Amino acid sequence: NAGVTQTPKFRILKIGQSMTLQCTQDMNHNYMYWYRQDPGMGLKLIYYSVGAGITDKGEVPNGYNVSRSTTEDFPLRLELAAPSQTSVYFCASSTQVMGRKQETQYFGPGTRLLVL
Amino acid sequence: KNEVEQSPQNLTAQEGEFITINCSYSVGISALHWLQQHPGGGIVSLFMLSSGKKKHGRLIATINIQEKHSSLHITASHPRDSAVYICANGTGETSGSRLTFGEGTQLTVNP
């Protein structure tokens, strides 16, 4: 199992450019999440998905879009990059066990994004 | 509002010392998570607990539901324990629900 993989590892964007951060998991998890981590701040949830075809906003969704066409993939789209989106982005996934309210989240290695 | 506060923000210890990191939260939980972020940036889950205590190797996590407080202890600390330790509060009623994260505690263990 590769677990959760993210590409690219690092990217520099110019203001106004667009890009897609890729996230794939091979654990057949139905829950997937996108977080951003700014220096000195806690992780913030951008979007999450509870299964293919179902997505919902998190705490900081503005400027981002997501889709979930398959169980494995959960790409994050930035349409018009802004300097405020300079951050490290983490994708995570978790499974669902009947009767349990919380499950361990497995994180990808992160994508470092710099918007200039 | 669900808030998670960790203390201390930074902690420096000598190898072999017993270490405690504290986490307080404001909203009742489904589970409390402890995670470790390596110097290279990767994040791994250490514990998920909703009551009592869990132990894995030299790491021990405890939680007091009534006081809304959790602690992470490291016994016989080692330089390889140097990392950021993150507490997160899961409050949803369904599995896989959203987490609110603390800002992390930067731990440095000197040889």
Q: Could you report the per-residue pLDDT of B20-31, keeping only the tens digit for each? A: 999 999 887 778
**pLDDT (0 to 100) of residue B3:** 87
pLDDT above 70 for A98:
no
pLDDT above 90 for A84:
yes
Is some CB atom of chain A closer than 8 A to the CB atom of B84? no
pLDDT above 50 for A91:
yes
Higher pLDDT, A100 or A28: A28
**DSSP secondary-structure letter at A8?**
-
Burial class of residue A40 in the structure, from the number of CB atoms within 10 Å of its CB (0-12 exposed, 13-18 middle, 19+ buried): exposed
Q: Tell me the pLDDT of chain A averaged across its residues.
A: 93
- Lowest-confidence region among A67-76, A86-95, A101-110, B102-111: A101-110
Among all residues of chain B, which has the CA nearest to that of A32?
B96
| Helix, strand or coil, per DSSP, at residue B79 | helix
pLDDT above 80 for A113:
yes
Percentage of residues in chain A having pLDDT higher than 70: 97
Q: Which residues of chain B have a CB within 8 Å of the CB of A33?
A: 98
Is some CB atom of chain A closer than 8 A to the CB atom of B57? no
Q: Which of the residues B3, B24, B34, B99 would you substitute to probe the A interface, choosing the one with the greatest number of A C-beta atoms within 10 Å?
A: B99
**DSSP secondary-structure letter at B16?**
T
Among all residues of chain B, which has the CA nearest to that of A36?
B101
pLDDT above 90 for B40:
no
**pLDDT (0 to 100) of residue B107:** 97
| CB A91, CB A33: distance < 8 Å | yes
Across the interface, of B4, B35, B103, the residue whose CB is closest to A40 is B103
Q: Which residues of chain B have a CB within 8 Å of the CB of A43?
A: 86, 88, 99, 101
**pLDDT (0 to 100) of residue B10:** 96
Name the nearest CA neighbour of A76 among A114, A24, A40. Answer: A24
pLDDT above 50 for B95:
no
Contacts of B52 (CB under 8 A, 6+ apart): B62, B63
pLDDT band at B50 (very low <50, low <70, confident <90, very high): confident
For residue B25, the distance in angstroms to the closest alpha carbon of chain A comes to 14
